[in-house]
Structures are given as C-alpha cells and as structure tokens.
Chains A and B, each alone.
Chain A
C-alpha cells in the first residue's frame, strides 16, 4: 500500500539550500558592484538579493538610484516590495528606511491608512517592534490622537512591559490637564501594582510628570565693581551668543549694543554662568543701573550698583516646590499627594521596589523636602540597598536632596553654607549657590569639583577636605576665592594648574594628600601658584 520510505537528511538539504543562496548572492553582487548595470537589471538583481536578505544596504542604495529612472509608476510596487522584505525581517533598518523614502515620493491619495494597517499587523506579531512604532509615529502621529492612544492602550493591555507603547502614548498627549493626567496615572498604577519590578511604567510615570519642562531663566544677577563684571546665572545650562535666544543689557537706561558674554566656567559651551565686562568705570565711581533681558522670555531683571557699593545682586527667591525637580513642581499638588499615597501603599507591600522608592523620594522632595526629610533619607537608604547596580545614580539623587535641604535650611542663599558629611557624590544645584561666600563640603564623597561652580562668584572660602577629589581639571576661575582646603584628597600636583586662574587665592591646604610627602612639591607649587601659601 505505502512505499517504504527513506528519509533524506534534513541537514544535507538545508546545507544545499544555503550554498545555493550564497552562490546566487555572490553572483548578483558581482554584477551589481561591477560596471554600471541598466536600471531594470539593477532592480531585478537587488530585488532577488533583498528578498532573501533585506539587510544588504548597498542594494537598497542601488535601488534608490535606479528607481527614479523608471517610467511607469513604481511607488505602489516598491511599497509592496518593501513590505515583503519586512515580512522576511520585520526589524530591517534598510527596509524601513527605504519604505519611508518611497512614501516621501508617493503621490496622492494618502498612503497613511495602508501604512497604519501594516504597522498594526507587524505590531500584532511583535508589540515591541520599535521600527513599526517609529514609522507609525512619523506618519500618523498628528492625525487622530485619540485613535492612536486607543491603539497604544490596546497593545499595553496585551503586555504593558512595552516601552515603545508607553512612549507612543507620552508623545501623543499634549499638555496634560489634571483629568487626563489622572487617567494616565491610573494606567501606571495598574501596571506598577501588577509588577512593580517592571520599569517601563515607572519611567513613563516620571516622563509624564516632568513633561512641562520650564525654559531656562535667569536666577541671579551679580555685579562686582572691582572685577568689573556682571554675572548672570541661569536655571539651566545655556549657550549665550548663539541661536535665537539673546541676552541683552540696558545700562543706565540705554541699550548696550553688541554685548559679548563669556562663560563663567572658563570655556564657551553651555553653562550656567555668563559674564559681561562692565565698561571702564569713570572715577569717581558712579551708580550703575543694569537691566538684563533674556529673550525669548519676556521677563527682565534689574540690579543697581550704588556709587558707594562694591557689589550688588538680584536673586530669585526659592519656590519650595520648584527647587528639587522644577518640571514636576508645576503639577497639581493634589495629584502629587495622591501619588505619594499610592507609593506608600505599594511600598508597604513591596518595600524593595526600586521604581517605587525612587518615585516616592522624588515626589516627597518636590512636595516638601523639609517636612519629609526622614522619610526621604530612609527611602534613599532602602534604594541603595535594593539597587546596588545603580548606586551612583542613587547617590546623585541623594546628594541633590541633601543640597536642597541645606539650601532650604540656610534660609538665605548667601553667606555660609555647610554641607559637611552628607555623603555628597556631586555638588548639585550650583545655580542656587551664586551668592554663597563660604562653602563647607568637607567629609563627602566628591570626586571632582565641577566647572559649573563658576556660578559662585562671591565664594571666598571653599572647604573640600576629606573627599575623593583626584583632580581639579575644569575648576572654574573663581574671582573671590581666597582659601581652598583640599586636605585628605587623593589629588595630584599637575591637576592643580587651574587654580592659577583664581586671582585672589592666597591659602591652599594640602595636608594628607598624595603630594604632601614629596619634597619637591613645595617648589613645584611655588612655580605653578606663586603667591599662594601652602599648608
């Protein structure tokens, strides 16, 4: 009835198939890369190669060169071809790029519905195909936001561990009113209570909370007669003198033409502090009224230096909620309070959840760091333990919280600020330190003193002893710095060079550093930093 069957070894068959595929590929590529082939032949050969392997970039390029020469309408057939290539490899960069290239040349009617269907199909097969998400966003983003939101929600319902889908949602939501925000927060809540270890929802939560990122603005103006400079300290690093935003000065009522600004950090890149050299001062000293406008922002700030004053400043006072995480501070505090409640509830069940710990720390720091000081510290400690792999990041968050607490407690933002032994890994919020004269950051874990300390135009005494500072590279030229304590840091001699740019530096303490033991150090230092007393 049945013939006795023999079985061909599948391995042999597969090997033969692969060899055949390779042979075809080689012969096609030889022809294509040889002399210029006619467009029809190029299309046929690249078509055969790409259908088998859509990742040969050369072939796509050759195709794009050959296609415009075609007489008949090639858009539809080319879209179909790219579609078959995507079926072979749905994550082929070349095929997606080619598709977008073809679409840009598509005549009406709009190909968008078809493209949307394609994305739907591919995302149905793999909801995390970020190429398909990107394609969809590029062409259908603005069309029907509600339908797109529903589409993203549907895929999240299948599996919420999908950064692309959350991102798609986030990009579609315009400015969030409280109602919409609450809806999104409910989704996040569902996700984090289902699986608090999945980071996608936590990341989305932080994204939607910090959507309304405020534009950079001037926080402080400081004018010093002796140095003949005006310093403007910004809320975020900016690059003055480029692009559309401009910093203009009105001096005693008349606009100063062609103001040139230099960075307070020593080199021209985005920075917090920008300096303008005052025009030569007539003697006897007169009073100066300076008005600074930062465009495109409408606000201007003024500072008046009286004839008998050496320095004058204007500084924005700290708004509690906008200090730690300015983007979130503008959100309805009621919503934030609710979120805090949710996080605490979840933390009761999952004391180790790092997403939850971090979110709670951020929220509490935004709402009122002073009132929640203990809870913030407790959460940060738990976070350090729960997430040792991101210890550095957590330490930075903790440092920011400590600096914020220090600032809030210091009441004024000038005079002496003590941040001793706070386990600081970074000196955060330098933009708020512009008027501090004495800064004590001893006994922390700082590895460097960052260039954005250039904001500290009035700093006279800096105690950075007993940290882990190895180098002062990039240390800004601080005009008033008189005393610097680097005791107990593993710092090396050559890296002290930037200190030479601090004109008033008189005392430098280097006890218990790597250099202290070396006999030649004193002479070398005297060479680099003449006039500085080394202790």
Chain B
C-alpha cells in the first residue's frame, strides 16, 4: 500500500468501484511507511535477516483451471539492501528498557525483542564501549542533575546503571520522565544529552520515514490533496529554512523576499542581484534573449555570467535549483529554479511542506479515503499468484496465501511483488538512505523547532549531491531534544559508502573524548541506520515480461525530493483503467454524506493503523507552531 497504489485505490473507490487492497506487510505504506523507533528496529532486523520463507504448499494449484496460467508473485521483498545500523551511545544501559506502551508494527519482533536487536546491532557499532561503561563509576540518575550533564562533555550519561536496573521499571520510568521535564525547564539553554535508553523508551515519539520527501507547495501532490479533499486527513508544517553547505559551513539560504530583506549575510548589491536573478527566473520564458546563448552550456556556467557572487551562485545552484553542477543544462536549471520560486509564499517562506507524523501519513490518508468510499483493506495478506486466462490473455483473479481465489477486473501490483522471472529485463536504480538521530540542529538559531532542508554538494564531481532533511520534534517525528535527520541520494555504492562522507562533514560521530573543538560544534549522532532502497520508478511497463494488459504496475519511491512521480503514475494508471471517469473529484464534506444502512459516521469508517493516539493540534491552536491546513485559497490579502 505505497503512495501510488493508495492513490489509485482512493480514486477507484471514489468513482464507485469496489476496491480490495491487500498488503503482505502488517503496516501501511510499503516502502513509504514510517515507523516508531522499535518498529524501525524490527524492520531493520527483518531486512538484515532476509529469511526466505519457503512454504511451498502447492494446494492452491488445484484452483487453477486448464485454460488458465499462473504468474507467481514474489514472497520476499528484495527492495531493501545493505542495512547497517549504529548506536553511538551506551546500548547496554538500554538492554532492559522498553518502549513505553510499545505496540510493534511487526509482531514477530515485539517490544520484548528490542534487547535482542540492540545486542545484535552492537556488533556493527564501531566504538564498543561496554568495557568502558563497566569500569566507570555508577552515575546515579544523572538525568536529574543538569549540571553534570552540562559538564560531562566527554562522558555518556547513563540514566540507569545496569546494577540498579532491577527495580520496577514502570515507576522509575515515570519518575525519570518528570525529572527530565523539570531539569529541561531549569537548564533550557544547555542541549540535553539524550541517551540510547531514552530513545528506546520514548520510541513512540519517533515516526521515522523510509523515504524522505517534502511536498512542493504547488506540486502535484498538494494539488491532489486539495482537489480530492484528502487534505482533511493530514496536517502539515512548513519547512522553515533552506540551508546550504559551503566551505565546510552550514548557512541559511535567503530565498524568499522576506529572507533577502532580513538577511545580514548579504550585501546590499547581493540582495539586489539575487532578487533580480530570481525575478528573472520566475518569468524566464518571456526573456529568451537573456539565456538563449547559454542553452547548450550548463546551468552553473550560465550562473557565472550573471554578475552573481560565488556564494549566490552556490545558493542558487545547490539550494534553490538543487541541480547538479556538472550535468544540468541552463534550461533545466531555470525550470527547477522557477518551480522552487513558484512554491514560495503559498504556505510560508519556503516552498516545502512536511506532513506531521511523517511522510508515511500520506499513503494512509488515501487509504482512509478509499475506505470511506467502500474500499476494503487487508494487511498481512500475501498473494500467491495472478491467474491469467490463456485465451484472452487477461488476468482474471488472484490466489491469496490462504488459497482463496479472488476475481477482479483490474489488478494493480507494486513492483516489489513481481517475481524475478517477470523482471529479468528490468534494470533498477538504487537510492541510498541514511537516518540519524542527533542531539542538536546542524545550524542553531534562536528557535529550536526548525524543519530544514540542506543540499550537500558532491565531494567529487560527477557524484550526486546529498539531500539532507532535518526534522525537529514538533513535526511529531522524533522525541523532544532530538533531531531526526534524513539523508538521501541516488546510489553509486552502498548507502553507507555514499552517505557517510556527508555525515562526517556535518556531524560528530565520536562517542568519547572528542578530539577537536571543531567536532564539538557539530551535532552528535546518537543513532544511525544506512540502507539502500530500490528505485523502481520510470520503468516502462513493457520491460516486464508478459504482464496481462489489465495488470498495472506501481513503482516504489523515487529519489526525487517531491512526490510528482507517484501522483503522475497513479493518474496515468487510473486514466488507462477508466478513461471517462474523473480522477479524484472533491469528496463531499462529512456532513453531506448520508449513510443508507447503519449510519456509520465517516470518521469511524476510516482506517487508522497507528496505535498511537495523536495529540489533536488543530490549525487555530497550532498556528504558533506553524502547522498549516491546506486550503484552496492562497494566503493573500
């Protein structure tokens, strides 16, 4: 139930089709899902083991008629590879810590398994410090002493010593929580030291996305959310700043009119030149004489001719257009810049929105819409095969893992369910991903609550730039006093090889006795995971071997920052299936819906797979936090 499938499902249900949505996983979203911390640990463990469950029960074969043939579906998800996780804190102390109120998304690796996971991943943890911990004097309830936390620059603070761990955990957890609150009030300016056990205990505060994307505020997904009224199921926060990484330093990029006005780093002339160039980009089509001499050059070369200082060139190329220095043409660069600028000012001073509780919310919103209009959802429901009629060549039915045969007219399959035999001609790209939990922002300013996007230019020419998205706790994706950092780039190697250089530039990976002062300035990584995800976007349907015409393939996430690819794909599939129907027309307001039979209110009819009870942050109350509900009208006078 990834994003394109969910959109297609919602669109079909909306126009009155019966939709059955099956997912072999036990969570919504596929590779678009987000997890709590323990959920992610379980996901990591599952993807590291990759046990092939070969239950070759062939009972279902007798359901297949003579004039039918079978396209088997893959039972094993091969889209995730090279998963490596690291903990930079004291894991031992967290051995017996449980996530408060844990309800794991993966039942096989429940909360009780957290310890096992921790032990296992410890092997990957380069600086093993268990010996260190044992030799250290027990620090009693260090968290209640902010002073020691502040001084102990070179020591990990352990909230519970192994020995004193045996007391009733529930109570002590509660007490500690209170003490934390109190201490954070007193010592507000000092960054809090968060320990691994706190992360585990507060694991439910995390909503860690497998894909890291933002919504362009004038992108296709926003338009679709608004048009279809699906936006009522989600809340968003504006990305608050655009950052650049230049000469080893993180700087804020002035990109909106207000930013340029307020900027202290730009000279007056730079302000004018930047505004002038950006204004030109907004309507570059009307001034072809300005750029046509450079159409065959790269955008970077074009920028050099525009009286822009090096820092402005850097800002525009890497942080605004976000394109490659070496192989982006002038026109592509202008287009990208224009897109960025057009998105400014609709919901705020940056072009991006981030969904509260994570990107994983978005597919679920469409699932909910589908369910409201009669769609049926089954998780943990693998499918054995597609059944194809030999005569017509069309797919007639599927057989599920219970051996149940289900007939349908149209079949939408996510790429990862297709078996190797179907995909022999398909060449996949890969996305390199890293997720870090850090203790402070890459750029500290007056406000702690920042949602930042940062492009790290390639260290060597020809490599892709790394897109870094740093989320603060008010996005509801991480616990208080931590930041969740997503790194993404198209793969050239394993995720760790691709991304670790950028991580090292931006963050402090040392756990002990930091050597240089410079390192101290950087945020500390508390925990990290790297993995490669298969990028199955942009694959022509004909590349798949002998798929019936009424089977449609949805790809997994692509490496781009926005979601246009998924929306386009969903709309294309829907239009092929139902050329005469409208794609996601506005859904009626709840008060306008009349239920014939049992009068189920739409709220109750919706699906929610997340056991968390989400605090209700309504737009009116949350306006100071900057959360925004999507509205059709732009925010204008």
Contact = CB atoms under 8 A, between A and B. Distances in A.
Interface string B234-266: 000000000000000000000001101110000
Nearest to B589: A10
B261 A157 contact: yes
B181 interface: no
Given A10-B588, A158-B258, A193-B271, A2 B374 contact: yes
A160 B261 contact: yes
Contacts of B272: 193-194, 196, 346, 349-350
Interface in B487-520: none
A159 to B, nearest CB: 6
Given A195-B275, A350-B272, A10 B262 contact: no
B593 interface: yes
Interface stretch (B39-47, B385-393, B598-606): B598-606
Contacts of B592: 7-10, 13
Contact of A5 (B257, B276, B376, B593): B593
A345 interface: yes
A193 B279 CA distance: 13
A114 to B, nearest CB: 18
B261 A3 contact: no
B349 to A, nearest CB: 8
Interface in B16-31: none
B224 to A, nearest CB: 20
A6 interface: yes
B261 A4 contact: no
A345 B269 contact: yes
Nearest to A348: B269
A403 to B, nearest CB: 34
B371 to A, nearest CB: 8
Contacts of B258: 157-160
A194 B261 contact: yes
Interface in A1-41: 1-10, 13
Contact of A349 (B269, B597, B599): B269
Contacts of B269: 193, 345, 349
Contacts of A190: 261-262, 268, 271
Chain B residues touching A, range: 20 to 34
Interface string A317-354: 00000000000000000000000001001100110000
Contacts of A146: none
B594 A342 contact: no
Query: Which of B260, B372, B598 has the most A CB atoms < 10 Å from its CB?
Result: B260
A3 B276 contact: no
Interface string B72-96: 0000000000000000000000000
A3 B271 CA distance: 59
Interface string A217-258: 000000000000000000000000000000000000000000
Nearest to A6: B594
A191 interface: yes
**Most B CB atoms within 10 A — which of A1, A2, A13, A158?**
A2
Contact of B637 (A6, A124, A126, A189): A126
A504 interface: no
A124 to B, nearest CB: 8
Contacts of B260: 194
Nearest to B376: A1
B126 to A, nearest CB: 45
Nearest to A7: B588
B531 interface: no
Nearest to B276: A349
Given A7-B593, A196-B272, A349-B276, A2 B605 contact: yes
Nearest to A189: B268
Contacts of B591: 13
B343 interface: no
A3 B257 contact: no
Contacts of A7: 588, 592-594
A119 to B, nearest CB: 16
Contacts of A13: 591-592
Contacts of A156: 261
Contacts of B275: 193-195
Interface in A103-161: 124, 126, 128, 156-160
A349 B273 contact: yes
Contacts of A159: 257-258
A194 B271 contact: yes
A161 to B, nearest CB: 8
A191 B261 contact: yes
Contacts of B599: 3
Contacts of A124: 623
Given A10-B589, A345-B268, A2 B261 contact: no
Interface in B594-623: 594-600, 605, 623
A5 to B, nearest CB: 5
B373 interface: yes
A4 B600 CA distance: 10
Contact of B268 (A1, A126, A158, A193): A193
B268 A157 contact: no
Interface string B396-413: 000000000000000000
A345 B268 CA distance: 9
Interface in A461-503: none
A336 to B, nearest CB: 18
Nearest to A197: B279
A346 B272 CA distance: 8
A343 to B, nearest CB: 11
Contacts of A195: 257, 275
A235 B349 CA distance: 49
Contacts of B597: 3-4
Contacts of A346: 268, 272
A124 B623 CA distance: 10
A8 B593 CA distance: 6
Contact of B596 (A3, A158, A160): A3
Interface of B: 257-258, 260-262, 268-269, 271-273, 275-276, 371-374, 376, 588-589, 591-600, 605, 623, 637
Given A2-B600, A4-B374, 13 more contacts: A5-B593, A8-B594, A10-B588, A13-B592, A124-B623, A157-B262, A159-B257, A190-B262, A193-B275, A194-B260, A194-B261, A342-B268, A345-B268
8 contacts: A2-B595, A2-B605, A4-B374, A8-B592, A157-B258, A160-B257, A193-B275, A194-B271
Interface of A: 1-10, 13, 124, 126, 128, 156-160, 189-191, 193-196, 342, 345-346, 349-350
